[in-house]
């Protein structure tokens, strides 16, 4: 990206086809949560994954975790079954097998292959670091549509199939009402146009100089041939058919938390410091986390939280779990009494949510084992 602006785009829900609004209430199931903590045996090695797991994914069978170390350009391979480090494999910074200078995203593709997405280069690699194929994720590889100018692609990407990617548009100047399908082999793109939800614009915070825009974030989850889209601003979700642009709008009624953030911030500020203060006002309200699909139990999980105010430890929070079935009915919600931190990186494996934890600079996970009964 040529211009040095910070763009943090929010989710906007759209449709170019018909839409259906559904209000889904709590179904009244009984939820129990069993919590424990497991530590990964690093075999005397230093794991960057202990500090953070910004660029990671699980193998298709969820038995291995791949975490890319940006400092050492190595792939940390962790065995989640036996809870130990398997190997750290070096990747190239230069030459034909080089990885992007700033890796942003890692996606496990199976067959001992991963995709590493970066600012100036994205491609498919073997687990040994051999570069196999470029993935066209730079806007310069595509003809610029008339509808959008000076744009980039978000790193929230979903493979619809082996040769088609769905992602969002970001711009230095505008929030465009589009998702985009990238046809990788042909290096062609097609836009999915949506009507914006105007209510989300009230969360926008903008600094005029330098140009900084904050409007939150959104998450994409693929299940079947549909895409689930959600925002950290509200309790709703949207189910998108990427083939025709039609969507279903689901609204959920929480009995434990508000159903959306409120606007108690200034939309226009003068300095980055003021931006941080206004963003803090939003972050101290309810925060809705990403949806997680549990293939084993055929359930969706979502963590939400309130940061606790006036604490010496800023990351203390009240955390809530909401469970949905595969038809996206809201089954139950519950405050997690044994976990009171802002959830960092987390994923689902074996019917449990695994939350990243650093214990004295060693990699560990807090596991929330979830059980439902009628």
From the list 175, 205, 200, the residue with the least C-alpha distance to 271 is 205
Superfamily in which the 6-373 domain is placed by CATH: TolB, C-terminal domain (2.120.10.30)
Query: Within 255-374, where are the H helices?
Result: 272-283
pLDDT tens for each residue of 288-343 = 999 999 999 999 999 999 988 766 666 899 999 999 999 999 999 999 998 999 99
For the chain, residues with pLDDT lower than 50 are 1-19, 196-198
Average pLDDT, the chain: 87
Residue that has been written with the tokens 């211009």 in this structure: 3
Q: Distances in Å between the alpha carbon of 341 and those of 121, 287, 301, 308, 366?
A: 35, 13, 17, 9, 11
The rounded distance, in Å, linking the Cα atoms of 173 and 6 is: 11
Number of residues in the chain: 374
Contacts of residue 260, defined as CB under 8 A and 6 or more positions apart, other chains included, come to 233, 234, 235, 286
Parallel, antiparallel or unpaired: strands 205-207 and 268-269: parallel
Q: Name the pTM for this structure.
A: 0.88
Place of tokens 């060693």: 362
**Is the separation of the CB atoms in 91 and 103 below 8 Å?**
no
DSSP state, residue 234: B
- In Å, how far are 6, 42, 45, 71, 110 from 86, measured between CA atoms? 37, 9, 11, 19, 17
């Amino acid at each position: 990206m040529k211009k040095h602006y910070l763009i943090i785009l929010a989710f906007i829900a759209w449709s170019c086809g018909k839409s259906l609004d559904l209000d889904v209430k709590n179904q009244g199931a009984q939820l129990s949560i069993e919590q424990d903590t497991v530590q990964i045996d690093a075999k005397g090695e230093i794991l960057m994954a202990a500090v953070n797991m910004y660029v990671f994914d699980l193998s298709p069978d969820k038995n291995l975790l791949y975490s890319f170390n940006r400092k050492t350009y190595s792939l940390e391979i962790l065995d989640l079954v036996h809870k130990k480090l398997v190997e750290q494999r070096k990747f190239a910074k230069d030459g034909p097998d080089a990885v992007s200078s700033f890796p942003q995203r890692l996606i496990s593709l199976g067959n001992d292959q991963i995709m590493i997405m970066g600012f100036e280069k994205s491609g498919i690699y073997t687990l040994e670091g051999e570069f196999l194929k470029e993935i066209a994720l730079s806007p310069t590889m595509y003809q610029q549509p008339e509808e959008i100018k000076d744009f980039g692609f978000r790193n929230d990407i979903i493979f619809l199939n082996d040769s088609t990617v769905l992602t969002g548009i970001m711009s230095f100047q505008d929030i465009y009402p589009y998702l985009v399908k990238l046809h990788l082999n042909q290096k062609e793109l097609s836009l999915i146009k949506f009507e914006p939800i105007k209510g989300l614009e009230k969360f926008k915070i903008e600094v005029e100089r330098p140009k900084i825009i904050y409007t939150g974030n959104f998450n994409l989850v693929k299940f079947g041939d549909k895409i689930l889209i959600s925002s950290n601003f509200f309790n709703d979700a949207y189910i998108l058919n990427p083939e025709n642009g039609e969507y279903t709008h689901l609204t959920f009624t929480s009995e434990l938390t508000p159903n959306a953030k409120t606007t108690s911030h200034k939309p226009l500020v003068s300095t980055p410091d003021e931006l941080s203060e206004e963003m803090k006002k939003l972050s101290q309200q309810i925060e809705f986390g990403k949806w997680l699909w549990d293939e084993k139990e055929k359930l969706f999980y979502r963590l939400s939280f309130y940061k606790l105010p006036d604490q010496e430890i800023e990351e203390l929070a009240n955390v809530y779990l909401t469970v949905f079935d595969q038809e996206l009915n809201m089954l139950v919600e519950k405050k997690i009494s044994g976990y009171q931190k802002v959830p960092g990186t987390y994923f689902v494996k074996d019917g449990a949510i695994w939350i990243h934890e650093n214990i004295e600079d060693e990699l560990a996970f807090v596991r929330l084992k979830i059980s439902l009964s009628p």
